[in-house]
């Protein structure tokens, strides 16, 4: 385990070093500006205090100037890691600097695909960004930025002619924009609004992904066949802009911002209802003001990180390679494509049903149900190697969609119920570093194993084992020992 502080304050760093907790530091120009000292001078002072990797960020936006700044920063001290943004120019700078032997930290990473892109360019570290941004700026700004980037990416894709233009538009802009609207961001917002039916609420919200796939994808396919994919990109950009721009203006970080309590309660309704059940099991733990630094000093944080890494590993390994594998073993390309679509369809009721179930029996069991889905899925995929039996294909689809995709309904609640508080976004975002890493590693390792062994059997066995480890890790994190879910609470009686 390595522990990095996100600060440029020398006193905070000295305290961390005295505690023996700090392995490195990640900074940015904004943090250094708050200290009122020139960047190079402050980086030298930080390097004198902390004997570890120190990320120092460039301020340029074009490749050539990033390279000039990066080389200059790298000369300050042997421990300096140059931080660049995940833009096209940043990726070019990362590739060049890494070839020169300069270590690079790529920031503004929002998805497993982008993490893999940064790693391919030679990144030494990757820094996801969303959670802390939500804590500081609120969801409306983050989501509206995502909508803007997504609309821009889709619209510009329609004009793309060269391969690099598709990398920038579909690969970068659409990827970043989509992830600023996706599971990670919503998992930070929704737990603040719901307690008693948190799993159900999140399951309902995330089922919209499957519903959208069912409604929009066939229509887009018809539009592509009739008018071409460029018009389909423009049409989708228009829909996103017209629907999501005004809709997301309603977003609030917490219900207190509009005078409500979680679950839509008001102060008056709470008084009228009388004594309510307490969901706190460990008062001492719940009373802690959980900052990212404090959370990372606990075993629970790292059990969650391991659980999420393993879960996203198998999720993306299966999702990326499933269609190719089915075609290899004799399933028709049309059936293989439909199988992937049916997984999303099965995920709609799965997320709702098992999100609700997790409100009754606990988040660990909700997560275990999702893991069981991927265990069955991987087992069915391994069995299909002997021949494309239809019942195995349907078992794989139902297990992956109905059970496996239900994980999303407890992704946020697991972290929220352990580390609830004003810094939840930063903590959740940091846990998602592990998830993103797993999501990037899964498809890559699976592809390498296939190329070396000639089949996917070993890769799917590894995915199955990773899923079991994920379930065990979340039971060890034990959110049930910090806060009860609604179905396990006892009503407090007045004395």
Q: What is the pLDDT of residue 305?
A: 94
For residue 164, pLDDT beyond 60: yes
Using the Cα atoms of residue 433, residue 435, residue 436 and residue 441 in order, give the sign of their dihedral: positive
Q: What is the pLDDT of residue 50?
A: 87
Q: SS3 string of 368-437?
A: HHHHHHHHHHHHHHHHHHHCCCHHHHHHHHHHHHHHHHHHHHHHHHHHHHHCCCCCHHHHHHHHHHHHHH
Q: Based on the number of CB atoms within 10 Å of its own CB, is 267 exposed (0-12), middle (13-18) or buried (19 or more)?
A: exposed
pLDDT band at 272 (very low <50, low <70, confident <90, very high): low
pLDDT band at 326 (very low <50, low <70, confident <90, very high): very high
CB 131 within 8 A of CB 185: no
CB 470 within 8 A of CB 409: no
For residue 191, pLDDT beyond 90: no
Average pLDDT over all residues of the chain: 85
For residue 21, pLDDT beyond 90: no
Q: What is the pLDDT of residue 492?
A: 42
What is the mean predicted confidence (pLDDT) over 114-122?
77
- Give the predicted TM-score (pTM) of the model: 0.71
| Structure tokens, 494 | 């007045």
CB atoms within 10 A of CB 16: 20
Q: What is the pLDDT of residue 472?
A: 97
**Domain residue ranges of the chain, discontinuous segments joined by +:** 4-128, 132-276, 280-485
| Structure tokens, 51 | 């004997």
Identify the active-site residue in 14, 34, 78, 83. Answer: 83
CB 106 within 8 A of CB 121: yes
CA neighbor of 50 nearest in space, from 75, 82, 79: 79
335/31 Cα distance (integer angstroms): 53
Reported as a single tens digit per residue, the pLDDT across 216-227 is: 877 887 888 888
| Structure tokens, 306 | 């391991």
CB 292 within 8 A of CB 230: no
What is the mean predicted confidence (pLDDT) over 393-407?
93
404/395 Cα distance (integer angstroms): 12
For residue 114, pLDDT beyond 80: no
Q: What is the pLDDT of residue 482?
A: 94
CB 150 within 8 A of CB 228: no
For residue 325, pLDDT beyond 80: yes
For residue 264, pLDDT beyond 80: no
For residue 87, pLDDT beyond 90: no
In 88-174, which residue ranges form alpha helices assigned H by DSSP? Answer: 88-99, 112-120, 130-137, 139-157, 163-166
State whether CATH 1.20.1250.20 applies to domain 280-485. Answer: yes
Q: What is the pLDDT of residue 302?
A: 94
State whether CATH 3.30.450.20 applies to domain 4-128. Answer: no
For residue 441, pLDDT beyond 50: yes
128/109 Cα distance (integer angstroms): 5
188/150 Cα distance (integer angstroms): 20
| Structure tokens, 284 | 């001492």
Q: What is the pLDDT of residue 75?
A: 92
What residues contact 383, with CB distance under 8 A and at least 6 apart? 389, 392
127/110 Cα distance (integer angstroms): 9
Q: Based on the number of CB atoms within 10 Å of its own CB, is 229 exposed (0-12), middle (13-18) or buried (19 or more)?
A: middle
For residue 151, pLDDT beyond 90: yes
pLDDT band at 312 (very low <50, low <70, confident <90, very high): very high
Q: Determine the straight-line distance between the first and last CA of the chain, rounded to whole angstroms.
A: 47
Reported as a single tens digit per residue, the pLDDT across 44-80 is: 999 888 888 898 899 888 999 999 999 999 999 999 9
392/80 Cα distance (integer angstroms): 52
Q: Is residue 83 among the annotated active site residues?
A: yes
155/102 Cα distance (integer angstroms): 36
Sheet (strand 4-5) strand order: 4-5, 24-26, 53-57, 80-85, 104-109, 125-128
Q: What is the pLDDT of residue 276?
A: 62
Reported as a single tens digit per residue, the pLDDT across 254-263 is: 788 788 888 7
For residue 138, pLDDT beyond 70: no
384/38 Cα distance (integer angstroms): 62
Q: What is the pLDDT of residue 2?
A: 63
193/420 Cα distance (integer angstroms): 12
Which helix (H) or strand (E) segment holds residue 25: the answer is strand 24-26
Which helix (H) or strand (E) segment holds residue 479: the answer is none
Q: What is the pLDDT of residue 277?
A: 64
Q: How many CA atoms lie within 13 A of 249 on its CB side?
A: 5
The answer to whether the 4-128 and 280-485 domains have the same CATH topology is: no
**E runs forming strands in 208-267:** none
Q: Compute the residue count for the chain.
A: 495
Q: What is the pLDDT of residue 493?
A: 42
């Amino acid at each position: 385990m390595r522990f990095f502080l996100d600060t440029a304050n020398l006193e905070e760093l000295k305290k961390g070093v005295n505690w023996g907790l700090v392995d490195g530091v990640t900074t940015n120009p904004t943090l250094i500006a708050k200290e009122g000292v020139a960047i190079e001078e402050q980086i030298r002072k930080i390097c004198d205090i902390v004997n570890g990797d120190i990320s120092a960020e460039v301020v340029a936006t074009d490749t050539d100037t990033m390279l000039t700044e990066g080389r200059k920063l790298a000369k300050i001290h042997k421990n300096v890691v140059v931080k660049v943004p995940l833009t096209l120019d940043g990726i070019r700078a990362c590739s060049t600097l890494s070839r020169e032997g300069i270590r690079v930290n790529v920031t503004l990473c929002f998805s497993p695909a982008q993490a893999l892109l940064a790693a391919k360019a030679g990144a030494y570290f990757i820094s996801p960004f969303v959670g802390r941004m939500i804590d500081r700026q609120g969801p409306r700004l983050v989501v509206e930025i995502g909508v803007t980037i997504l609309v821009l990416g889709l619209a510009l894709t329609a004009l793309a002619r060269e391969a690099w233009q598709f990398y920038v538009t579909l690969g970068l802009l659409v990827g970043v924009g989509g992830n600023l609207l996706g599971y990670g961001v919503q998992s930070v917002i929704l737990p603040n609004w719901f307690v008693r039916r948190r799993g159900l609420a999140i399951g309902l919200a995330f089922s919209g992904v499957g519903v959208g796939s069912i409604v929009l994808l066939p229509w887009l396919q018809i539009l592509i066949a009739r008018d071409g994919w460029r018009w389909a990109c423009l049409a989708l950009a228009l829909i996103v802009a017209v629907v999501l721009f005004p809709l997301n203006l309603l977003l609030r970080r917490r219900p207190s911002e509009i005078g409500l309590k979680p679950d839509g309660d008001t102060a008056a309704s709470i008084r009228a209802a009388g004594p309510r059940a307490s969901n706190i099991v460990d008062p001492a733990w719940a009373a802690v003001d959980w900052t990212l630094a404090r959370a990372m000093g606990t075993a629970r944080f790292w059990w969650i990180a391991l659980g999420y890494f393993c879960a996203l590993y198998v999720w993306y390994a299966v999702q990326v390679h499933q269609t190719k594998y089915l075609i290899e073993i004799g399933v028709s390309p049309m059936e293989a494509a439909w199988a992937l679509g049916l997984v999303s369809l099965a995920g709609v009721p799965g997320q709702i049903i098992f999100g609700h179930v997790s409100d009754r029996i606990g988040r660990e069991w909700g997560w275990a149900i999702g893991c069981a889905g991927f265990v069955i899925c991987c087992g069915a995929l391994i069995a299909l190697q002997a021949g494309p039996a239809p019942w195995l294909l349907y078992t794989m689809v139902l297990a992956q969609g109905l059970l496996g995709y239900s994980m999303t309904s407890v992704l946020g609640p697991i972290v929220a119920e352990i580390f609830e508080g004003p810094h939840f976004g930063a903590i959740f975002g940091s846990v998602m570093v592990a998830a993103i890493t797993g999501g990037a590693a899964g498809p890559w390792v699976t592809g390498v194993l296939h190329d070396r062994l000639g089949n996917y059997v070993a890769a799917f066995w590894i995915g199955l084992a990773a899923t079991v480890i994920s379930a065990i890790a979340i039971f060890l994190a034990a959110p049930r020992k910090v806060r009860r879910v609604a179905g396990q609470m006892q009503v407090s009686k007045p004395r």
